[in-house]
Amino acid sequence: MAALIEILNASFQYHPQHAEPIRALSNINLTIQSGEFIAIIGANGSGKSTLGKLLNALLIPDSGVVQIHRMDTRDPGNHAAIRTQIGMIFQKPQDQIAATIVEEDTAFGPGNLGLPADEIRNRVAFALSASGLTDYRSRPSYLLSAGETQRLALAGVLAMRPLCLIFDETTAMLDPAGREMVMEQAKALHRQGTTILFITHLMEEAAQAERVIVLNHGNIVMDSSPRKVFNQNIEEIGLEKPTALAASKMLRPFIPSLPKDILTKEDLFNHIPYYDGNQSAPSPAQKQTTPFQPIITAKNLSYTYMLGTPLEHQALDDLSISIGSGNMHGLIGATGSGKSTLLQHFNGLLRAQSGTLSVFGMDLNNRKLDTQSLRRRVGLSFQQPENQIFNQYVGDEIAYAARQLGHSGTLVNAVKSAMEAVGLDFLAYKDRLTYTLSGGELRRTALASALVTKPDILLLDEPLAGLDPLSRKEVMGYFKSMHDAGLTLVLSTHQFDGIIGEMDAVSVLQSGKDIAHGAPTSIFFAKDSKLPGGLKPPFAAELCAVLRQNSWPVPAGIVQLSKVIEMVAEITKRAQA
Amino acid sequence: MSQFEYLRHVSIGQYLPLDSPIHRLDPRAKIIGFSFLILAVSISNNLCSLILALLVSTLLIAASRIPFSFAVRGLLPPLPFLVLIATLQLVITPHAEASAAVFGVWRILIYSEGILAALRLLLRFASLLLILTTLTSSLSTIEMINGLNLLLKPLQQMGVPTENAALLVQLTLRFIPFLALNAEKIAKSQASRGAKWDTPNGNLISRVQQIVPLVIPLFTNSLRQAENLSTAMLARGFAGSTARTSMHIYRFTLRDGVFLMFLLITAAGILFLF
């Protein structure tokens, strides 16, 4: 039987106007059999999405051949059949919705195939129930949450009954529960025989595939099982190992019984041995705490969008929060829990509908508030940088706030130091066109634009979403140095694993309420602590709990992997002494 | 404060997914019937006819199970203007020379013709509003598109591509809330970096100066989204050339016929009965 997908020596270049062509893929050879589950990984700009688009004939190779069941994508007569067989879910689900009503959007694809009404209705019913949207049938598509929009995008593709599904960084903007749901759906479809191609930045997801293809600068550099791929030195090309694998490598010197082929969290946790040595616990070095001085104080905030219309929904519900000067304060919670709404209150973009809010002692309920001087001291960087950048050139974009609100020293120096703070070279980037920037560069530009007035508080809305592992690590490093320099950082995030150890305090939001707050150590270890749906404790906390279950005298309350390793090292060293 | 909630001010397609006899009707019956009713109310100039129209439109609201408070709230924003115009009608409507003033306030005399004109205006406005609310709340955009599509089908035989016209309407409607959301994001981004979006006082020039930096990125962002959408539409099998089908089959039943006849007779009654 012929392979589902066959790529022979395919190359592809983008041809931007008035610029050199950009080589996206070079001499790709690839065979994919029916029923495989494949992850495609690679840094930003390595050609992952381009590869996906070659497969359903959205792009045609400049040279070489792409065949789907022997149908050549160069023949336009094959396109309808190819696109029915190969479905694609894109990174921004809201951009692939064609109709204003959920059910009608799901019917768009089958309608294009010219199917009879009965068959379309059957398929719509099937697709909506498979993606859990049956109750949303007659809702307006533009008022769905991010996770729901994602499910609608999936439903639209499922209604086509495809043989192969391509997920193009589908999970980038979702919270952990949303990501897990997408992965579960992919697995369920795979069990039913659908071929799955999962393009992702998250190595934990890639580790769950049967086969991993690694792209680097448009070339396939590895194509093997996840165990083999992740035991290579993939850090060299801007990727990272799945956390469980990295942790097992660090633990093995102290726990030699750990097998070498650990890939998932479950693997690792099942192999932690029982400890029967000395039970005296080493005490973790206490983090130096500065006295708590509130800089933002909110009491009983409530906010309802679309107030007074049949579509109103409450985003904040009687929420109180206090944020300390110089702290890094994390807001965690599922999508739709009110994090963005809360952040937009802190610089006066949204005004409290009820309750009080003061920042630097300024009363934000005051109608005559001097918003300019407030915003000079409170920078805000939004979710999805591409929606907040509005200038043509990077330099102008970053200078905007300084021109509007003032700056210290010359404008050039203000822009330059803001760019340096996030690792953008002034000369190389100031005249770059903003629409040519990659995901990581866009994020840095957005951060620099908020930093240019040298604010005292920086508000960050999902600053780590959609970044590849290398950029994520670098951006977290910048936050750490800003925090060390005394800046107050308030950041909302789903992906808090790498940064949680830096945080002084965490608030957990659910349905617009602050359901738990305190030091990160207490949040994830309190006996009665119940994390709201959509959230998971950090990996280090879970590892810590498993060690303790196995009688390791590891103190509770560690949220950083490096600290857990230190403790294990200490315990084994004592046992030997 | 909702100065940045642009979507809240977009009221197109305030469809209320209720289950009522009116909602279940064939869209063709609603489009034709309501069109004639609106036409009749607009051109009729008889007090009794307009009272009949108000009664019928109240009946329609009740039959479509739309909360009365929701329907009436639409009356409130234009109410000051209506009162102003009605007052003007009271005063300036020409009257027959022989008629005596009903009453006078200070030196202004009010004649019965003026009172009738003001009443007609208010009645006409109230019934039109109730009829339009019934129509838009009970007819989703997609039903409207499908209904128009079916009604325009005869044109297709003459070679007019009505199929794509309907898709065009659908995509346009889909983009309205997205434009509002995009504008909101850019305005918020500019405001949080010092653009004076929330200071209401400002002359026309400074307002224009504010709008230009919003409109340009709004267009580039929306064009990018449109490009993404067209890619996604291709990926979802849209070819443009082949005939698309719909998930709905509309059957014009006896019930639809009876409803349509009722609306047509009412429209005729409004026009010719009195």
Mean pLDDT comparison of A181-185, A312-316, A451-455, highest-scoring range: A451-455
Residue B144 within a domain:
no
Whether B67 and B121 share a structural domain: yes
pLDDT for residue A138: 82
Whether B227 and B274 share a structural domain: no
Residues of A in contact with B193 (CB under 8 A): 375, 379, 400-401, 404-405, 449-450
- Please indicate whether residue B110 or residue A552 has the higher confidence score (pLDDT): A552
pLDDT for residue A285: 63
Whether B131 and B200 share a structural domain: no
Whether B263 and B207 share a structural domain: no
Whether B135 and B253 share a structural domain: yes
pLDDT for residue A355: 93
| CB-CB under 8 Å, A90 with B228 | yes
Answer whether B170's CB lies under 8 Å from A99's CB. Answer: yes
d(CA B217, CA A388): 9
pLDDT at B13 over 60: no
Mean pLDDT of B45-73: 87
Secondary structure string (H, E, C) spanning A169-213: CCCCCCCHHHHHHHHHHHHHHHHCCCEEEEECCCHHHHCCCCEEE
Q: Residue A72 — very low, low, confident or very high, per pLDDT cuts 50/70/90?
A: very high
Number of domains in chain B: 2
| Residue B234: closest C-alpha in chain A | A58
- Mean residue pLDDT across chain A: 88
pLDDT at B81 over 70: yes
pLDDT for residue A180: 85
Mean pLDDT of A284-299: 79
| CB-CB under 8 Å, A307 with B8 | yes
Whether B207 and B256 share a structural domain: no
Judge: domain A295-503, CATH 3.40.50.300.
yes
Among the partner-chain residues A88, A95, A306, the one whose CB lies closest to the CB of B229 is: A95
CA distance B17 to chain A (A): 7
- Please indicate whether residue A159 or residue A498 has the higher confidence score (pLDDT): A159
CATH of domain A5-235: 3.40.50.300
Among the partner-chain residues A98, A114, A349, the one whose CB lies closest to the CB of B242 is: A114
A353 to chain B, any CB pair closer than 8 A? The answer is yes
pLDDT at A345 over 80: yes
| CB-CB under 8 Å, B173 with A375 | no
pLDDT in tens, A385-398: 888 888 889 999 99
pLDDT at B12 over 50: no
CA distance B250 to chain A (A): 10
For the record, the structure tokens of A82 come out as 């190819």
Residue B8 within a domain:
no
| Residue B236: closest C-alpha in chain A | A109
A96 to chain B, any CB pair closer than 8 A? The answer is yes
A226 to chain B, any CB pair closer than 8 A? The answer is no
Whether B21 and B120 share a structural domain: yes
Residues of B in contact with A353 (CB under 8 A): 1
Q: Residue B133 — very low, low, confident or very high, per pLDDT cuts 50/70/90?
A: confident
Whether B176 and B220 share a structural domain: yes
A396 to chain B, any CB pair closer than 8 A? The answer is no
Domain that holds residue B29: 16-139+249-274
Q: Residue B6 — very low, low, confident or very high, per pLDDT cuts 50/70/90?
A: low
Among the partner-chain residues A113, A140, A390, the one whose CB lies closest to the CB of B190 is: A390
Mean pLDDT of A113-123: 91
Q: Residue A66 — very low, low, confident or very high, per pLDDT cuts 50/70/90?
A: very high
Range of lowest pLDDT (A264-268, B69-73, B268-272) = B69-73
What is Dmax (Cα atoms) for chain A? Answer: 78
Mean pLDDT of A43-67: 91
Residue B6 within a domain:
no
| Location of each CATH 3.40.50.300 domain in chain A | 5-235, 295-503
Residue B113 within a domain:
yes
Whether B194 and B211 share a structural domain: yes
| Residue corresponding to tokens 């929606």 | A387
- Mean residue pLDDT across chain B: 81
pLDDT at A119 over 70: yes
pLDDT at A444 over 90: yes
**CA distances in angstroms from B145 to A46, A97, A128, B75, B149, listed in the order given:** 43, 17, 22, 27, 6
Whether B175 and B69 share a structural domain: no
Q: Residue A454 — very low, low, confident or very high, per pLDDT cuts 50/70/90?
A: very high
pLDDT for residue A163: 93
Residue B3 within a domain:
no
A161 to chain B, any CB pair closer than 8 A? The answer is no
Q: Is the dihedral of CA A177, A181, A182, A187 positive or negative?
A: positive
CA distance B23 to chain A (A): 13
CA distance B65 to chain A (A): 14
For the record, the structure tokens of A184 come out as 């579960």
Whether B23 and B125 share a structural domain: yes
pLDDT at B242 over 80: no
pLDDT for residue A326: 92
Q: Is the pTM above the cut of 0.90? A: no
